[in-house]
Amino acid sequence: MQEWYSQCRNFCDRYENQKEVRSAIHEFFRELSRIRIKEKGKFRQRDGPEYRKFIESLKSKPEIIQDIAMDDDFFKLTFDKCN
């Protein structure tokens, strides 16, 4: 988990409004750890209806969520920690 927190800090450092980004990251992690994913392979590749439904369900700013989801290393690390 230490690696994830380190990646979180590095990700937040790229943004001016770090508090908002940190909140989005934690929402992303929290919600990803709550859902049951049937097609993990597709989800991990950021494809399929489960992935789209997940992204659309998040309340944070869409552009921040998109940045989180499109960062390969951060997304894979988060996905692995949650599943």
**Per-residue pLDDT at 4:** 85
Domain count, the chain: 1
Determine how many CB atoms are found less than 10 A away from the CB of residue 33: 12
Reply yes or no on whether the pLDDT at 11 is more than 90: no
SS3 for 12-79 is: HCCCCCHHHHHHHHHHHHHHHHHCCCCCHHHHHCCCCHHHHHHHHHCCCCHHHHHHHHHCHHHHHHHH
Q: Which is nearest to 78 in space by CA: 46, 48, 38?
A: 46
Cα–Cα distance for residue pair 9/19, rounded to 1 Å: 11
For residue 49, what are the domain limits? 2-82
pLDDT tens digits, one per residue of 21-41: 999 999 999 999 999 999 999
pTM above 0.85, yes or no: yes
